[in-house]
Amino acid sequence: MTHTSTPAGPVPAAPPAAPEAAGRRLDWGLAAVLVLAAFLLFYNLGQRPFWQDEAETACLAKNVLVHGLPYSFDGLNVVSQEEEREFDKVGGYLWRWSPWMQIYLQAAGFAVGGLDAAAGRVPFALAALVAVYWLYRLTRRHFGDRDLALLAAILLTTCVPFLLIGRQARYYAPGTLFVLWTLDAFLSDWQRKTLPLLAMFAGMALLFHANYLLFLSFAPTALAAAFLVYPEKFHWKRLGWLVAATIALVMVPGILLYRIGSQSGMFDVLLVPENLMLYFADLCMFCLPLPVSVYLVWRWRRFALRGERPADPAERFALFAAVLIVFSLLFLGLVPQRFFRYIAHLLPLCAFLLAFCVRRLWNFSRLSAVLLFFLLAATNWLAVYPMERLKIVNRPWQNDFRMLTSNNFPLKLFVTELVCGYPDVNAAIVGFFTANAKPGQTIVAEYGDLPLQFALSGVRVLGGLQGPVPEGVKPDWVLRRRVVRVNRDRFLFGTREFTDSLNFERDYERVPVPFPDETFGNRTDDPNHHYFIAVEPPQKDLEIWRRREGAS
């Protein structure tokens, strides 16, 4: 496999590929990929109910349909997972904790399709589908290589972690799309033309209002990576105007609206080493297999040692993507909370890197390229097996050998879930209380309170991560969960303290519910925890208590 480098310093940009006449005709390969992606993203989209985080967005979206703004209180129930830090009660319970875009997207889905899980997820699945197309468009438009573009789109479509986050009613898929939008504009002639410059600004603004943590982890790291890999693309005057406009028109109003400064106290420097280690494990397990990363480091060693940049435009962008991924992980290591969803917007860049490796290998050995493509698109063997051998696999204790944390055929697991269904714990909880709870009653739920708030009408639902249960509450129903939760200060959540204080033997009777008490249900934002096939017994059953008649 050959490698062409140029000396350090400004390098003339390669001229864009001449547009092909065939490029204006229907690309049947792309059409087939988009049809497959649409099936995988939209089929049985409402199969599982909203889990806790999705339900948070859904409850706020319901209030948007009524009031036009995302209020956290509907007159009966309060939406909170941060012990009521997300709003000011004196300000009418207006949501101020996170950006509103995902709330309004979900409200739009509800307005068109009704208040159900499928309708609420459609705008986000559509964003994921457009992201597949945009990755193809970016690659073919700027590098003129249809095969590379198709490979990248296929590898993103068959990436099960991407499909999981794309089917979720949260900011993950829109954020991913806006990253691609911004990079597409950056590769265009923004130094001389106004439209690409405006497109970059719009991409930054949309990304901020999708999730400001994604914006903060992407904007400065992308700028640093571009400075190292594309120094010739900088037009400092235009860049200055872009940065100034983004700060003045996007960041400052957003900081005031979302009260970003109030969350800065969660920083803990002691968590940084662990966060970096876990992000590295997640990257290797689900995004970019370790052997591929090692090869890329070796291939671009001259860049690391002497600043030599590849002359080929596609390889230059691949190098940029790799540097951006590394810088993003280093930035995210500073953030106290660590979740896979914070790196989900990097999945298209990982797909491009994998496609680049397959495309280059094709020029050296077609049989080897086909084998590599099969391993990357159909299995997770290259991702999991090396990590196991090196004993650095990030496998949770509740791992099952039919999850993505073990050697598997991920797409087979994913399609099995789509076609055969899954007995989701939130479906069992919502189904039980829909059938048994009556309007005017009160439920205290240790977790899963927000799916109940979304699904039930006229029932007061307390608990979860809302904070202490108000004094004097005598719940008609109590939902105990097997996982004991602590807050950010490592203190027991108020709901568990409340349920521990109840006299269950005297005042309540347990209702048999022969359904496993899984922790999250449809937690698709973390491939470490997603179940595709139900786990066999023994498992702890849900613990639901009903207040006895005449109890004090």
Q: Is the pLDDT assigned to residue 16 strictly greater than 50?
A: no
75-84, 287-296, 332-341 — which is least confidently predicted? 332-341
Which helix H or strand E contains 442, and what residues bound it? strand 442-445
Helices (H), 408-512: 410-420, 425-436, 449-455, 494-501, 504-507
Residue 405 backbone phi and psi in degrees, to 5? -85, 0
Q: Which pLDDT does position 18 carry in this prediction?
A: 45
The answer to whether residues 545 and 510 touch, using CB atoms and an 8 Å cutoff, is yes
Q: CA nearest 156: which of 360, 353, 368?
A: 353
Structure tokens at 89: 């009660």
Q: Helices (H), strands (E): how many in the chain?
A: 23, 7
Q: What is the DSSP letter of 287?
A: I
Q: What is the DSSP letter of 492?
A: B
Q: Which pLDDT does position 262 carry in this prediction?
A: 65
539/544: higher pLDDT: 544
Q: Is the pLDDT assigned to residue 135 strictly greater than 60?
A: yes
Task: Give the distance, in angstroms, between the CA of residue 322 and the centroid of all CA atoms in the same chain.
Answer: 19
- Measured CA to CA, the distance from residue 268 to residue 179 in angstroms comes to 28
**C-alpha distance from residue 155 to each of 138, 232, 350, 378 (Å):** 15, 30, 9, 9
Mean of the per-residue pLDDT values for the chain? 90
Q: What is the pTM of this model?
A: 0.92
- Measured CA to CA, the distance from residue 497 to residue 484 in angstroms comes to 10
β-bridge mates for residue 136, sequence order = none
**C-alpha distance from residue 531 to each of 234, 413, 520 (Å):** 46, 9, 10
Q: What is the DSSP letter of 270?
A: G
Reported as a pLDDT band with limits 50, 70 and 90, residue 9 is very low
Task: Give me the residue spans of the domains in the chain.
Answer: 25-46+116-394, 425-547
Long-range contacts of 191-196 (CB under 8 A, 24+ apart): 191/233, 191/234, 191/235, 191/238, 192/235
The answer to whether residues 402 and 413 touch, using CB atoms and an 8 Å cutoff, is yes
User: Could you report the per-residue pLDDT of 471-529, keeping only the tens digit for each?
Assistant: 999 999 999 998 888 777 777 888 999 999 999 999 999 999 989 998 888 777 788 88
Q: CA nearest 247: which of 278, 215, 221?
A: 215
Reported as a pLDDT band with limits 50, 70 and 90, residue 394 is low
Residue 43 backbone phi and psi in degrees, to 5? -65, 130
Structure tokens at 496: 């568990």
Beta strand pairing status for 460-463 and 442-445? parallel
User: Could you report the per-residue pLDDT of 28-68, keeping only the tens digit for each?
Assistant: 999 999 999 999 999 999 999 999 999 999 999 999 999 99
